[in-house]
Amino acid sequence: MFEIQNTLVSLDLVERFFCCDLNTCLGACCIEGDAGAPVTPEEVEQIKQILPDIWDDLLPRAQEEIAENGVAYRDPEGELVTGIIDGKNCVFTCYEPGGLCSCAIEKAYRAGKVKIRKPISCYLYPVRIKQFPTFTAVNYDRWKICKCAEVLGRREGLRVYQFLRQPLVERFGQEWYDELVANCELYISQYLTGE
């Protein structure tokens, strides 16, 4: 593990390769699992404010769920997460031709309609953040649906920390990320040469 400022970072971020392969997985991380994506109370408020901008891109069943229960709920562990429908789909999923699942929030962001890209937990995926009283854990969430991303990452020579540069900088800042890179490069030179 790397200790960077007030975070403990899993070695998986440097040891594992990763590059999203949407052509293969079709955005399965937005529709698989037993709960929605983790969100902060601030993100919930931001999403509520942009609902009119994304409403027409939401699935009808998602619109019903949001109208009845709001954009987020507490999962069994007490974590605030986005709503889901049919036991799996995030309420913000929308589908492109060919079955590609995308995020209605990010779609609106890319079109310049809203200022929020998507919840930071989604932007950071497959990294998951867990807050503890004295530090923040930064871990790689290994999931079988992302096997194709590991294969593509290895082919492209992209490690998790490299693939997630932008969201890591957004979440922790450039100074933190620069320190992460320095630690990763040292680790690679000492332990992963010839890989």
Domain regions of the chain by residue span: 1-18+126-195, 26-117
Q: Which residue's entry shows tokens 């037993």?
A: 34
Hey, is 71 helix, strand or coil? coil
Does the N-terminal peptide bond of residue 126 adopt cis geometry, omega within 30 degrees of 0? yes
pLDDT band for 1, please (50, 70, 90 cuts).
very high
Question: What mean pLDDT is reported for the chain?
Answer: 94
pLDDT band for 195, please (50, 70, 90 cuts).
low
**Token pair belonging to 74:** 């507490």
* Beta pairing partners, 10: none
What is the arithmetic mean of pLDDT over 22-46? 90
Reported as a single tens digit per residue, the pLDDT across 7-17 is 999 999 999 99
In order of 13, 39, 179, the CA distances from 3 in angstroms are 13, 25, 10
Strands (E), 59-144: 72-74, 80-82, 84-85, 89-90, 93-95, 101-103, 127-131, 136-140
Where helices occur in 16-146 by DSSP H, the ranges are 22-25, 41-54, 60-69, 104-110, 120-124
Tell me what percent of the residues of the chain surpass a pLDDT of 70: 99
